[in-house]
Amino acid sequence: MNIEIRKAIDSDTDGIRELFFESFWKELSYSEWAWKYKHSPWGSTEILALDGEKIVAHYGGIKSRFCFNGRMFDVFQPCDVMTHPKYRARFFSKKGAMVKAGEYFFSNNSMDFAFGFPSERHAILGTRQLGYTEHKYVSVLKKDINRHKYILKPFLKISTSWNLIDATEIDILWNSIKNENMLSIEKKSSYIFWRFRDHPIKHYEPLIIRGRFSNNLRAFCVFSISEDELSVLDFLCPKEFTITLFNLLENIVLDYKLRSLKLWLNTKEDIYPKIVKNGYNENSGVPLLFKIINKEIKPDFLFDNYQYRMGDYDAG
């Protein structure tokens, strides 16, 4: 078997979408593929493994920028990592087509590190064959809201329409809080709008909080609803405003007649004890791991400081 590894070109799109269906038994629409690989703020790349003219493995990656205390990092988030069922290595000791595509991906893209939230199997494979760190698990916080008291905030103005927020406001808010944050994706308006507002398949709602009289943006949040649960995809606010923000989110749970609220929060974040004290219970979520290219960066720094959110995972 002679497997060719190369970068994807525009004419490969249908073959990539066909592989997606053969790998996951669900469709990848052209609009969703283009959203990931043509329209992301910092660019994206796709590496293919081919047997003749047939695409048998794919290693995609969305480029990102992370910031920490004024320092910027060039980062990739691998996504749509897939192999045709007939070409999957049965043992972790075997180097399959996907691993070869992954090696090409990391050899031909400049970055400080990559991060991902893979399945357990892909986490083990990544560690053993592609040099990723050992994986840990994200912290998931959840609260049942059935006994929550509705909290009035007379000096705040609340809205939930994308038409009522503009790019400049988000950028001003982000710039005012970014140095309070731990290690985070740079969440300027270009990222927020691409990731949430402009998603071609999924529906996300914003929560926009302003001063009632000043009209200044105090906090911004993105959430989604599935069945009877509200999931917090991302939020931007000063630390001292966090509990107020989550009280308002709990009001929305009541307004929509839901039962619970869920979010991701690193246990090392300053706000973590306050959220837990406010009635949230912790469980382990999906695996998290890193591929470190810049050897000055240590695994503990990434695991301890990465301010992950549910929206970070959904992008992949």
Encode pLDDT of 241-299 as tens digits.
999 999 999 999 999 999 999 999 999 999 999 999 999 999 999 999 999 999 999 99
57 in Cβ contact with 83 (< 8 Å): yes
Q: Which two tokens stand for residue 162?
A: 């994308």
Q: Which residue has the higher pLDDT, 93 or 297?
A: 297
Q: Which CATH class is domain 3-111?
A: alpha beta
- Whole-angstrom CA distances from 246 to 144, 210, 274 are 13, 15, 11
Domain 140-288 falls in which CATH fold?
Aminopeptidase (3.40.630)
> 216-229, pLDDT tens digit by residue?
999 999 999 999 99
Q: Which residues contact 113 (CB under 8 A, 6 or more apart)?
A: 73, 75, 290, 291, 292, 293, 294, 297, 302
pTM given for the model: 0.93
Q: Where in the chain is the domain with CATH 3.40.630.30?
A: 3-111, 140-288
